Structure 1
Amino acid sequence: MPFAPLVAVPLAACLTAILIVLLKPILQRYALARPNARSSHSVPTPQGAGIAIVLAILATCGLAAALAKPMPNAMEALVLAHGTLLLAVIGAVDDIRPLPASLRLGLQTLVVAGLVMSVEGRLFPAIPLPAERAFAVLAGVWFVNLTNFMDGLDWMTVSALVPVTAALMLLGFIGDLSPLPTLVSASLLGALIGFAPFNRPVARLFLGDVGSLPIGLLVAWLLYRLALQGGLAAAILLPLYYLADATLTLLRRAMKGEKVWQAHRSHYYQRATTNGRSVMEVVACVFLLNIALAALAGTTLLWPSWLVTVAALAAGTCLVAFMLRRFSTMRGETIR
């Protein structure tokens, strides 16, 4: 599929935009997101654009698969497609009538476990295979949920994941990612671009759990595949801001004895708006940060030495730490 990713980007973008236009009247009527403790909006806004994104990705990848002879990693692709659909259904139900946290987490774990079992390869051959897969499932479930947690601001998912998916697609072109992940990353990139005009601040439409959960699964799988192909450092650097913001926020809330599964507005990007920064300023900072992290990830693959890898990880950590510190500081206050 040498040219499929190049076609997948505009195709997925167009399909997403068309489906959103067709679905928006229905979402406006039946899927309004009303402001709650987590919300950054003050008026009811339709959610559920994730339906269009998931359908566009599956249609784009399905068309490419139909044209490819033979289709690479066919069984893995089928498991990924079914897992994506299942998480979309779970998210859609949760958007309309919230599910118990235990049920939601259990279903997510089953989906991620099935996908991990379908992927061949080892990350850490020195440890037992069951232990490695258990770690992969845990990491996958966390990434699915943190993607949902981080979708709490207009354009946040777009600004964070467009650089990540674009970087993954480019890595596929230079041979650091196999054809199937390259195609999926290109389709997801196109779908996010198609969604972007509708979610631009002030958003007219939200992603919803129907979108954030399957998107989290797809990105987690893409990063796992990159790590399995020798790009572990790159797979850490690409989502490093997402990982740091969500994980540190969870730990901080747990240490305070708060109920971590309840809605809140204490993520660093949310605190940034509370501290006087505009939504556009916050998402622009996240976008530029993720471009920098993508460049650092690329250096670890172009120059695969331990010195470059350590330097890139250190630089990425410093950039993320600076951004988190900036977001948690009142506008106009000196950062120390």
Structure 2
Amino acid sequence: MRDILVAAGVALILSMLGTPLAIRLFSRRGYGQNIREEGPSGHHEKRGTPTMGGTVFVIAALIGFACSHLATFTPPTASAMLVLFLMTGLATVGFLDDFIKIYKQRSLGLRSGAKALGQLVVGAVFAVLVVRFPNAYSITPAETRVSFLRDFGPSIGIVVFTIWVLIMIVGFSNAVNLTDGLDGLASGATGVVLAAYVLIGNWQLRNSCLNQLGPNCYWVRDPLDLAVVAAAVLGALVGFLWWNAPPAKIFMGDTGSLALGGVLAGLAITTRTQILLFILAGLCCIITASVIIQVGFFKMTGKRVFRMAPLQHHFELAGWAETTIVVRFWLIAVLCAAAGLGLFYVEWMPKA
């Protein structure tokens, strides 16, 4: 527990104090957000707000994680380092995207192909390394099996597993990116999911197959350190949200949204709760589905289902205040995370 508190506390302080410094630095250098012309008209007043704020909470999370291990004199584990690698790698892809937007003064950064390639390369390295460091205590490496509340079904093989991991990484990094459309929306929504993973890691630690045998234990390699990762990113995100909440003084940019999506996917894969993430991060999935529905229906019929996609912009055009949308969507995120935790808790409870 001390590991978790140190990681979250250090990351929170660094992010809360570091974000205003980044706001001043980015403002002096002109690293402001460009706004799409086709977006809601109310967003044009946000033009010039500093972006790339994700760099602050990514760095704060990394330092918080390192401090937790220095405080407890323990080495970092393979699982935690893989998730942090995924976060940092996708943050780098997002940073390049953000920097090109700023440098060329346009709302589009990396071309879609280049951006997808960057996500795939980082994801592929993560997938290969996850298989390279299988659970040392499981007869059948669960890294090659699909998981919900725990592993189920037969092994799907390394190739299919790698494809599944890539789908999750690209899907959730883009899902958080789509959710990041209003001040504080993505920060609050992903923070709730990270809090859930702190609890999941603790539950899995107490019921680890390292400490007991039987049908109610979990085959998870490093549950405590994964909880520390979730706590470090959560602490950093809370500190950032202090400045990102409406009206935002800084945006996370693709640097932050891709990194957060990577953390969620990485935690789901390493804690063996892959499909459960679709419930825990239900808000991000709903918002992504709204884009898929809008694009697909428009191509088939030439008509739109929503006034604008992603879904939060539909409600903006319907006349909802931005703060109202953000708070209500946060409530949906809390309900989704609670539903996921409820399912997990029922599975975790000792069976007679």
TM-score by length of 1: 0.81
Q: Pick the aligned partner of 1:123 from 145, 153, 156.
A: 145
Query: Aligned with 1:42: secondary structure?
Result: helix
Q: CA deviation at 1:69?
A: 5.0
Which residue is equivalent to 2:151? none
- 1:172 counterpart = 2:215: no
Contact kept, 8 Å, 1:5 with 1:182, in 2: the verdict is yes
Which residue is equivalent to 2:213? none
1:6-60 deviations in Å (ceiling 9; x for gaps): 2222221110122112221221133100221346622221111111011001111
Contact kept, 8 Å, 2:194 with 2:233, in 1: the verdict is yes
Q: CA deviation at 1:234?
A: 3.2
CA distance in 2, matches of 1:46, 1:219: 25
Which residue is equivalent to 2:180? 151
Which residue is equivalent to 1:334? none
Q: Pick the aligned partner of 1:287 from 309, 324, 330.
A: 330
Q: CA deviation at 1:94?
A: 1.2
Q: CA deviation at 1:232?
A: 4.7
- 1:96 counterpart = 2:95: no
Structure 1 spans left out of the alignment, 5+ residues = 259-263, 306-336
Query: Aligned with 1:32: secondary structure?
Result: coil
Contact kept, 8 Å, 1:72 with 1:179, in 2: the verdict is no
1:46-80 deviations in Å (ceiling 9; x for gaps): 11111101100111112223445543533x44444
Amino acid at match of 1:5: I
Which residue is equivalent to 1:245? 287
Which residue is equivalent to 2:278? 236
Which residue is equivalent to 1:330? none
1:236-257 deviations in Å (ceiling 9; x for gaps): 2101121122133124313423
Give 1:234-273 correspondences, 5 Å limit: 234-257=276-299, 265-273=308-316
TM-score by length of 2: 0.77
Which residue is equivalent to 1:41? 43
CA distance in 2, matches of 1:203, 1:265: 22
- 1:60 counterpart = 2:64: yes
Which residue is equivalent to 2:320? 277
Q: CA deviation at 1:199?
A: 1.3
Give the percent of matched residue pairs that are identical in Structure 1 and Structure 2: 23
With 44-53 and 234-243 compared, the bigger mean Cα shift is at 234-243
Structure 2 spans left out of the alignment, 5+ residues = 101-108, 135-142, 147-153, 206-219, 301-306
Amino acid at match of 1:53: F
Moved over 6 A (4+): none
CA distance in 2, matches of 1:78, 1:8: 14
RMSD of equivalent CA atoms: 2.3
With 114-123 and 26-35 compared, the bigger mean Cα shift is at 114-123
